[in-house]
């Protein structure tokens, strides 16, 4: 490159704005930022920019706005839909938020904390625990993903049945808008009806409306008691009735209700060191359910056992293991959280991140499984996930490593069939992972036309030059 090419010019200008160590341009140092987690997309970029504070983010945005340079925000780069990967033009920059990593404040009395966008989710959980509080967002990527990425995708995860999605855990947001202006919405209020709810708009916007630089998060009393059961269903048809029964016994103490098929147990036992089958015999479907409480003396095990005994009498449950200690509880969770990794090790998979009304889950699974059998008979259905929220990872794996190309060529046909079915069930084609670049066409096809017009108008109003995460979502 000569000194006058846009890349070198931009890199030099950006160094002025964020410091010399905040701008990467070498192919090797940029490489990890240019490849998405699933290795579906490899982009190019003029530079990777790593600001340390909100003022530096503001300066970068102002520069990019003026020069019409596309900005791709990136947190932990665990997106499942290519949301944090630049395009192949080489003209965009990646804005990596990792160095905005301070917990600015923990207010135990107000049950809130303020974390900068680059804080790793596990660090936010720890900061809450250090103040004897609980931050409930939890997902398999929590050791890598960042709270800014969680907000930007409105992440779901393992505790939604009790605490809700990320949007419900946020009290306020600080963000930098497309022109570099700083929106200071970092309030820590439970009530605030002063006009449009901008934080809710920024949450889930996948970096297309603003760069989230910090968030004020809700905390709960520390969890001091758990009852965790690995439950074998006689038939997936009983999953909804089991949830109802557990709710009748446990009330709102149910914090997780995860569905797993037999093949998920087989894949994790085969591929993930240390994972074992919690039960003696094989069963077609399982539920991993956890009750939690803030008081150590709550009789959670009794509540769980009472419900499971009734479920067995009714023929819904064939067997169950109740974790007797923290080690067993961790083993159940390790099995569940390793399913994506075991699937990856088994071979390529076609993923559908869908939701239907909870009561429709069994009906949906039966019909969707029939579609897989018809359209992709050599695929192995690995359908699992957050059944308590009606949210399923309806994934189809190629296990033996042969015929992979033919398998992948079938993807569009299967995707259309599954997403049409989801629509017939009044469901969602993106329950929790977002749209990114992977599902843009799907959004255009399945979203409400009126909703799409409104979304485009909002995008135009907040980012008239289209510099924020171009090519994502819309």
Q: What does the per-residue mask of binding to ligand FAD show for 71-90, with x meaning CB under 6 A?
A: -xxxxxxxxx--xx------
In Å, how far are 49, 246, 308, 428 from 287, measured between CA atoms?
A: 43, 12, 12, 22
Can you tell me whether residue 199 is helix, strand or coil? helix
Distance, CA of 335 to CA of 428 (rounded, Å): 26
Stretch that binds ligand FAD, among 154-162, 226-234, 262-270, 396-404 (CB under 6 A): 154-162
Q: Kindly identify the residues of this chain, within the stretch 113-142, that bind ligand 2HG according to CB under 6 A.
A: 140
In Å, how far are 57, 106, 388 from 188, measured between CA atoms?
A: 23, 11, 29
Is there a contact between 46 and 10 (Cβ–Cβ < 8 Å)? yes
Q: Kindly identify the residues of this chain, within the stretch 291-330, that bind ligand FAD according to CB under 6 A.
A: none
Determine which residue in the list 351, 398, 439, 472 makes contact with ligand 2HG, applying CB under 6 A: 351
Determine which residue in the list 82, 385, 470, 471 makes contact with ligand 2HG, applying CB under 6 A: 385
Could you count the other beta carbons within 10 Å of the beta carbon of residue 302? 11
Applying CB under 6 A, the site for ligand 2HG has a residue count of: 7
Distance, CA of 180 to CA of 467 (rounded, Å): 11
User: CB of 213: closest distance to ligand FAD in angstroms?
Assistant: 7
Q: What does the per-residue mask of binding to ligand 2HG show for 277-306, with x meaning CB under 6 A?
A: ------------------------------
Q: Give the relative orientation of helices 239-250 and 361-375 as an angle to the nearest 10 degrees.
A: 150
**Which phi and psi (to 5°) does residue 286 adopt?**
-135, 155
Does residue 343 belong to the site contacting ligand FAD (CB under 6 A)?
no
DSSP single-letter state for residue 222: P
Question: Residue with CB nearest ligand FAD?
Answer: 149
In this structure, are strands 93-96 and 47-49 parallel, antiparallel, or unpaired?
parallel
Cβ distance to ligand 2HG smaller for residue 10 or 343: 343
Binds 351, which of ligand FAD, ligand 2HG, none (CB < 5 to 8 A, cut-off by type)?
ligand 2HG
In Å, how far are 54, 151, 360, 403, 434 from 214, measured between CA atoms?
A: 9, 10, 37, 46, 20
Stretch that binds ligand FAD, among 46-54, 152-160, 228-236, 328-336 (CB under 6 A): 152-160
Distance, CA of 311 to CA of 319 (rounded, Å): 10
Does residue 340 belong to the site contacting ligand 2HG (CB under 6 A)?
yes
User: CB of 264: closest distance to ligand 2HG in angstroms?
Assistant: 10
Q: Kindly identify the residues of this chain, within the stretch 412-471, that bind ligand FAD according to CB under 6 A.
A: 432-433, 436, 469
Distance, CA of 13 to CA of 319 (rounded, Å): 64
Does residue 335 belong to the site contacting ligand FAD (CB under 6 A)?
no
Cβ distance to ligand FAD smaller for residue 214 or 320: 214
Stretch that binds ligand FAD, among 14-22, 107-115, 147-155, 372-380 (CB under 6 A): 147-155
Is there a contact between 212 and 152 (Cβ–Cβ < 8 Å)? yes
What does the block give as tokens for 262? 């037999």
Distance, CA of 112 to CA of 215 (rounded, Å): 10
Binding site residues, ligand 2HG, CB under 6 A: 140, 339-340, 351, 385, 393, 395
Binding site residues, ligand FAD, CB under 6 A: 37, 72-80, 83-84, 97, 117, 139-141, 145-146, 148-150, 152-153, 155-157, 206-207, 211-212, 340, 432-433, 436, 469, 472
């Amino acid at each position: 490159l000569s000194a006058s090419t846009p890349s070198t010019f931009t890199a030099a200008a950006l160094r002025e704005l964020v410091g010399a160590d905040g701008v990467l341009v070498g192919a090797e140092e940029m490489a990890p930022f240019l490849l998405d987690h699933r290795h579906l997309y490899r982009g190019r970029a003029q530079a990777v920019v790593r600001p340390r504070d909100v003022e530096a983010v503001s300066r970068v945005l102002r520069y990019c706005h003026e020069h019409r340079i596309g900005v791709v925000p990136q947190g932990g780069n665990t997106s499942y839909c290519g949301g944090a990967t630049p395009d192949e033009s080489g003209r965009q920059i990646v804005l990596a938020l990792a160095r905005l990593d301070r917990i600015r404040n923990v207010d135990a009395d107000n049950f809130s904390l303020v974390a900068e966008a680059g804080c790793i989710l596990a660090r936010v959980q720890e900061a809450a625990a250090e103040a004897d509080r609980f931050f409930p967002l939890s997902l398999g990527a929590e050791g890598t993903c960042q709270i800014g990425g969680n907000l930007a995708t409105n992440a779901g995860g393992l505790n939604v049945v009790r605490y809700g999605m990320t949007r419900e855990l946020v009290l306020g947001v600080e963000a930098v808008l497309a022109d570099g202006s700083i929106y200071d919405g970092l309030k820590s209020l439970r009530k605030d009806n002063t006009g449009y709810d901008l934080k809710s708009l920024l949450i889930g916007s996948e970096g297309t409306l603003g760069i989230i630089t910090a968030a004020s998060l809700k905390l709960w009393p520390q969890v001091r008691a758990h009852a965790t059961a690995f439950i074998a269903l006689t038939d997936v048809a009983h999953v909804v009735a089991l949830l109802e029964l557990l709710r009748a016994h446990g009330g709102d103490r149910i914090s997780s209700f995860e569905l797993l098929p037999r093949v998920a147990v087989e894949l994790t036992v085969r591929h993930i060191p240390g994972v074992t089958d919690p039960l003696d015999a094989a069963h077609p479907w399982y539920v991993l359910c956890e009750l939690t409480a803030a008081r150590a003396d709550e009789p959670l095990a009794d509540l769980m056992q009472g419900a499971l005994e009734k479920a067995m009498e009714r023929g819904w449950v064939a067997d169950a293991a109740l974790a007797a200690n923290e080690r067993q509880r961790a083993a159940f969770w390790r099995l569940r959280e390793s399913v994506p990794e075991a699937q990856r090790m088994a071979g390529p998979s076609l993923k559908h991140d869908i939701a239907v009304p909870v009561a429709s889950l069994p009906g949906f699974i039966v019909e969707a499984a029939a579609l897989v059998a018809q359209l992709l008979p050599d695929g192995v259905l690995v359908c699992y996930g957050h059944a308590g929220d009606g949210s399923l990872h309806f994934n189809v794996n190629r296990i033996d490593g042969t015929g992979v190309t033919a398998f992948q060529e079938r993807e569009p046909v299967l995707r259309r069939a599954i997403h049409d079915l989801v629509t017939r069930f009044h469901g969602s084609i993106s329950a929790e992972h977002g749209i990114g670049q992977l599902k843009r066409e799907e959004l255009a096809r399945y979203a409400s036309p009126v909703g799409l017009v409104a979304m485009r108008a909002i995008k135009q109003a907040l980012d008239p030059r289209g510099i924020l995460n171009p090519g994502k979502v819309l």
